[in-house]
Amino acid sequence: MFEFADVEAARDRLQGIIRPTPTVRSDVFSDLVGRPVYFKPEHLQRTGSFKIRGAYNRISRIAEDDPAATVVAASAGNHAQGVALAASLCGLTSTIFMPKDSSLPKLEATRHYGAQVELGGGSVDECIARAIVFAAANGAIYVPPFDDPLVAAGQGTIGIELAAEAPPLETVLVPIGGGGLIAGVARAIRACMPGARVVGVEAAGAASMIAAQRAGFPVDLPSARTVADGIAVGRVCDLTLAHVAADVDDVVTVDDETISRAVVLLLERAKWVVEPAGAVGVAALLSGVIAGSGPVGVVLSGGNVDPLLLTRLIDHGLTASGRYLLLRVVIDDRPGTLAALTASIAAMDLNVLGVEHHRSGTVVGVTEVEVLMTVETRDPRHRDAVVATLREAGFDASIRS
């Protein structure tokens, strides 16, 4: 385990390397959750995430020992970019193993930062295995994403900055994937703001830290499926589990719907593009699982989201927020019935985004048709009122999930 002195040393080493990301108070989110909210916007960091901090803290030391070294890593995105840039800044060559289905923007960004990219394998775990074999065969040095004291200490510099930039906080929310970020931040918060509670946030579909806490040691999840791919880690490590046990007060989970809502709200109200993994702290606030009413600090850990995924997230988030409604209405198959339905929709001042009319391929009566209609609504209450109003008008209406 590393100490706070290691985090302080990382802070000094990162001077002039990282981009300042000053903590800011959000009046909008403070009003939404009923308590002061302060954001640490690491999505504005170099490479688009906090990962450059730990990568540079580790790789700069490698460069001091061997200026001709090659570093190797495996990642689907953020760690890849952090290692690639850190190696270039230190004058080292880097090879990054990435899954074959990695998003094109993350792949191109990693190459842009100077890395040699090797594509292959269907998961990050497979890429890690290939990277370790490559490192051993070529005398290169493997840089893990979280299972390294210097990497985690580098991430902990966020905690020092947050404590210096924000007023005294009641709670600090930190995303958890492999646990390197929260291990470093929690150690720093314990030293710099000892009165604050540190709470980790995992995606419900990839809660590997909670699984490890229950077992008492790291365990493999049967699957790690979540929209927050940046924290979809199937197994934490002994190092991060030990730091969570020592310094973290609680670990909570949030589901994909709430994560999507958080991404949309950050985009809509803060004008920030934050990736799902970076938005889980906001999701936890929105879901009401964070106790207390005092000031809360939230680490927004990254903003590297594929534009195609962002489009789907927006649709999903708007639906989860009650802003989109997919109606299923069964009507009589006779002239004028569809017109009556659309007239009722118009009378409620609803904007229709799409209409589908089905006679076959669905379970309806011989003289009936199914109409699927997507409309814009204001919020969940308005969405539910639409269905109730249509039923009062005599339509067989329901919400299509």
Same domain, 196 and 300: yes
pLDDT in tens, 19-43: 999 999 999 999 999 999 999 999 9
pLDDT in tens, 95-138: 999 988 888 888 999 999 999 999 987 777 788 889 999 999 99
Final residue before a domain boundary, out of 105, 124, 145 = 145
Same domain, 162 and 17: yes
Same domain, 12 and 134: no
Task: Specify the pLDDT at position 401.
Answer: 65
Same domain, 273 and 294: yes
Q: What is the CATH number of the domain that holds 354?
A: 3.30.70.260
Same domain, 243 and 201: yes
Q: Which of 26, 60, 208, 301 is an active site residue?
A: 301
Task: Report the number of distinct structural domains present in the chain.
Answer: 3
Q: Which of 376, 270, 262, 388 is nearest to 319 (CA)?
A: 376
Q: Which of 49, 51, 102, 208 is an active site residue?
A: 51
Same domain, 62 and 42: no
Contacts of residue 145, Cβ cutoff 8 Å, sequence gap at least 6: 51, 73, 74, 75, 79, 151, 177, 178, 180
Final residue before a domain boundary, out of 273, 292, 318 = 318
51 included as an active-site residue: yes
The whole domain housing 314 covers: 4-49+150-318
**Greater confidence, 174 or 75?**
174
Question: What global pTM score does this model have?
Answer: 0.85
> What value does the mean pLDDT of the chain take?
92
Q: Kind of pairing, strands 37-41 and 296-300?
A: parallel
Same domain, 117 and 250: no
Same domain, 250 and 209: yes
